[in-house]
Amino acid sequence: MIRVFLFVGISIFLSSCKKDLIDIPYNPTPYEVNAEETENLGILPIPKTNELTEEGIRLGQHIFFDPVLSSTGTMSCSSCHLPELAFTDGKALSVGVQGEQTSRSSMTLVNAAYYTQGLFWDGRSEKLEDQALLPVEDDIELDHSWEEVVEDLKSHPEYPTMFRKAFGIEDSEEITKELTARALGQFQRIILSGNSKYDRWKKDIGVLTDEELLGFETFFDVNPLLKDGECGHCHNEPLFTSNQYFDNGLQEANTIDDYGDIGRAVVTNKESDYGKMRAPSLRNIALTAPYMHDGRFETLEEVVEHYNSGGHPTPNRDPLVHELNLTEDQKVGLVAFMKTLTDTSYLENPFLENPFE
């Protein structure tokens, strides 16, 4: 009996010795979002299970830009989500570590906190914390294994300390993929953009040109004398998206079996969801060419031409997508208006810079 006690006692003693991080203070600082950054976007949705702290965001920032996540050590999240391109990659289809193309175009991470009706073009991921787990083990994207990534993080000279400061772990062995994903979630929630030329104009700061105004009126159907653009129904304020799923007549599908990318139906399995994608936000759209889930359009002019023509009469095409008969001036105006939606002030946030440069 005494031996058993001794054994248990020694084991407890040994395991408590293993707490290699316990001497590092854990005292996280809440991250204050600047009120100006969200005043035109609405209350920033933050899950109770992953509150923002400076230490958590710093950790996420390092992981986001660190090629440690890829099997080849050559790619990071930022390879396909470049800050200067509103966190997209400028390619029609993204290219992964082995040089293979992914099946879809990269998406902006700007205002990602507000995309609360599902992430990815088809909405198959519910939260940023779930999404962040996927690229690492995606064969085409980072093609690595979490087990190995977590081992690398545990034996890294700096990450264990950063995990301690962010999440209060007491030992490097407590680093997990879930904590890594939480840090990435925090980092992405502070990429905010809501103070564009358009937002300032609405507050009577600055003016829009005649072209931009004509585009605004066409976009939101505000002038009964003009042909409707219908855009604002799906790309509505403040995010310039309703976060809902639509088929905007892109794919040449005559029956539901013809959709090359079934989109939302992957999640719901409903015939009425074939070919539907989440309407993307149009904030910073001038920076995120090429456009659509497959990057098929290189310019905003081509996008406007698509909507003006009404696209293909696919089985699930939304009734708002139809021949518009816009004038040349209206088309030019729509493009000019979309270019007023740019606000890259997030590039000045030191928490969003590449920490390795």
Question: Is the bond leading into 30 cis (omega within 30 degrees of zero)?
Answer: no
27/49 with CB nearer ligand HEC = 49
Question: Cα angle at 108 between 342 and 283, to 5 degrees?
Answer: 25
Q: Does 106 bind ligand HEC (CB under 6 A)?
A: yes
Residue of 86, 234, 287, 352 that binds ligand HEC (CB under 6 A): 234
Q: Of residues 57, 142, 190, 239, which one binds ligand HEC by CB under 6 A?
A: 142
Using the rule CB under 6 A, which residue among 104, 189, 283, 339 binds ligand HEC?
104
Distance CA 332, CA 329 (A): 5
Do 92 and 105 form a contact (C-beta atoms < 8 A)? Answer: yes
Which residue number, 21 or 212, has a Cβ lying nearer to ligand HEC?
212
> Any bridge partners for residue 222, and if so which?
none
Which residues 147-186 are close enough to bind ligand HEC by CB under 6 A? 184
- Identify which range of 34-42, 107-115, 199-207, 349-357 contacts ligand HEC by CB under 6 A: 107-115
- By the rule CB under 6 A, 215 interacts with ligand HEC: no
175 vs 304, beta carbon nearer ligand HEC: 304
Kindly state the number of chain residues that form the binding site for ligand HEC, as judged by CB under 6 A. 54
For residue 311, state whether it binds ligand HEC (rule: CB under 6 A).
no
Measured CA to CA, the distance from residue 338 to residue 357 in angstroms comes to: 32
- Is residue 191 involved in binding ligand HEC (CB under 6 A)? no
Q: Which of the ranges 49-57, 114-122, 143-151, 198-206 carries the binding residues for ligand HEC, by CB under 6 A?
A: 114-122
User: 269 in the Ramachandran plot: left (φ > 0), alpha (ψ -120 to 50) or beta?
Assistant: left
Residue numbers at the binding site for ligand HEC (CB under 6 A): 69, 75, 77, 79-81, 94, 96, 102, 104-107, 109, 112, 115, 119-121, 128, 131-132, 135-136, 141-142, 184, 188, 229-231, 233-235, 246, 248, 250, 277, 279-280, 282, 285, 288, 291-293, 300, 303-304, 307, 318, 320-321, 334
